Amino acid sequence: MPLTVRDLTQIPYLRTRLFAGESGADRAVAWAHSIELPEPWIWIESGDLLMTVGLGVPAEPEGQVAYVENLAAAGASGIAIGEDMQAPPLAAEMLAAADREALPMLFTAYEVPFVQVSRAVAAANQDREHVRLVKAARIYDRVRAALATASTPAYLLRALGEEIQCSLSVRGNEDGFSLFKDTEDIPDSIRIAFVNAVRSRAGAMPGIVRLDVGGSIVLVLPVPSGRPASLIAIPHSPDVPAYAILQHVATVVALEVERQWAGREELRRLGSETLAQLMHARISGASAAPQLRLHGVENGPFILMAAVGTGDDETQASGPLHHLLAERSVPHMLLRQGEVLYCLLPATSALVDAATTLIQGDIGISDPFNEPDSVPSAAREARWALAQKNDKRVTRYGEGWSMLGPRSVSEARELVTQVLGPVIEYDREHGTDLLASLDVFLACNRSWLAASSRLSVHKQTLVYRIRRIEKLTGRHLNDTASVSELWLAMRARDLIDR
């Protein structure tokens, strides 16, 4: 028979007496744990006896009532307070709450160390701990069997759930999205309650969180992995698994999360290398086919996205982008070049919408294309769309400027030829770099002093170069219309020359 609170009070050397909540004296005591934190119910599980010198007990009656009610809701077997120690005066309202909740409140004599109580409980529950060890061994047997059959994470999660009589789910902390494909979904009410619990704690999750969702208890444990994630356990009966057993399951799950993480990191690296080779025409679409197939982008049509403002790497606010895309079954390849992040993916509207939702910053999208060999031109289209955005975050190729400039690469080439063609030809024939001087002069808002300083030339040298440009182009830099045409032509040249 398990040790009860009443049994504990009858052990003479423990000198522990009952003073409230006597109707719960037959509660079983699975473990005795000392906690001085202000919310001890976060750290205990059903059947635990809380031992405290009183540091965490609120001083106000309302707080003391909540203290008792929360411990009762967590399934505590009782509260043992060190007598004549640090506890504030216990209000009558607190004692009444203990009677109402049938939560035994005990006084342990000052002379008795709490470790004596813990040892007495442990000795009385040796058989129970043996059962836990057997259960833990069975969990790892399940893992070994799953590895032997090369099973999926979903299969492993179902097997572990059967072992502990719970429905299990592994979720990302930022949005509650499932990290394992093909697993059973959870009710939206549970997902929302989980996300709210994570956000209310600013991501700092305790060892276990108990959520009451529609009258059902849901257990949440942090998964000890690099990916911020949690294990959600929905018990099939009121008899919830022991915390130690759930910790074993969370550890097993963490290994699978880390395995997936490492595999995706390698996949991202290979995809980035392949996309870079395609973009610079160093490899043909046929040669890239095995990698495209591995990343799920072997069949067109495709689109290419170009994004800026995403950060220094592929990390987004809610997690590494390639992991977020993979978790949502979005086939993709990512490549960062300078400040631009490129993403190649199938041109399916649902996949494109998912990617634009996850990718931060401003995004330009190319026209759909069918052959991987078209990636270089698609990259120019995506950059062009990105440059032509007005007040929209996402711009498709052909949208954007209408009256303010060219809307396609061919129009851009025509503009550059018409406006800058004579200057380009002059630079080529004479080995000069008038275009660079024009670019700096415009960037300095036509300030002779600032531009000549940046170019490290005398002001008169710059004046000579600008006059030469005006003569070659037939446009004057003291005329607003001419300045606009020259600036647009320079920006168009930047895009088509990339």
Q: Which domain holds residue 71?
A: 5-124
In a domain, 88, yes or no: yes
Residue 342 has pLDDT above 90, yes or no: yes
In a domain, 216, yes or no: yes
* Mean pLDDT, residues 183-196 taken together: 87
In a domain, 185, yes or no: yes
Per-residue pLDDT, 149: 57
Last residue of a domain, one of 80, 102, 124: 124
Same domain, residue pair 366 and 419: no
In a domain, 267, yes or no: no
Same domain, residue pair 131 and 211: yes
The CA distances from residue 283 to 36, 84, 381, 382, 481, in Å, are 64, 80, 20, 20, 44
CA 400 to chain centre: 32
Report how many domains make up the chain. 4
Same domain, residue pair 254 and 145: yes
Among 26-40, 168-182, 212-226, 305-319, which is the least confidently predicted range?
305-319
Q: Quick one: DSSP state of residue 372?
A: G
CATH number at residue 18: 3.40.1390.20
Residue 317 has pLDDT above 80, yes or no: no
CA 224 to chain centre: 14
In a domain, 264, yes or no: no
CATH number at residue 426: 1.10.10.2840
CATH number at residue 226: 3.30.450.40
In a domain, 266, yes or no: no
Q: Report which of residues 132 and 354 the model is more confident about.
A: 354
Three-state DSSP state, 218: strand
Last residue of a domain, one of 124, 141, 170: 124
Same domain, residue pair 247 and 294: no
Same domain, residue pair 302 and 340: yes
Last residue of a domain, one of 396, 422, 456: 396
Residue 286 has pLDDT above 80, yes or no: yes
221, 229 contact by CB (below 8 A)? no
Per-residue pLDDT, 365: 92
Same domain, residue pair 428 and 457: yes
Residue 144 has pLDDT above 80, yes or no: no
487, 442 contact by CB (below 8 A)? yes
Same domain, residue pair 131 and 118: no
Same domain, residue pair 91 and 17: yes
pLDDT digits (tens, 9 = 90+) for 38-58: 899 988 888 899 999 999 999
Amino acid at 180: F
Task: Report how far residue 178's alpha carbon sits from residue 168's, in angstroms, rounded to the nearest whole number.
Answer: 11
pTM (two decimals): 0.55
Same domain, residue pair 228 and 196: yes
In a domain, 478, yes or no: yes
Among 47-56, 273-282, 310-319, which is the least confidently predicted range?
310-319
Burial label for 204, CB within 10 Å (0-12, 13-18, 19+), is exposed
Same domain, residue pair 332 and 422: no
pLDDT, averaged across the chain = 85
Residue 88 has pLDDT above 90, yes or no: yes
Same domain, residue pair 106 and 162: no
Same domain, residue pair 109 and 132: no
Per-residue pLDDT, 315: 47
Three-state DSSP state, 456: coil
Task: Report how far residue 440's alpha carbon sits from residue 463's, in angstroms, rounded to the nearest whole number.
Answer: 13
In a domain, 162, yes or no: yes
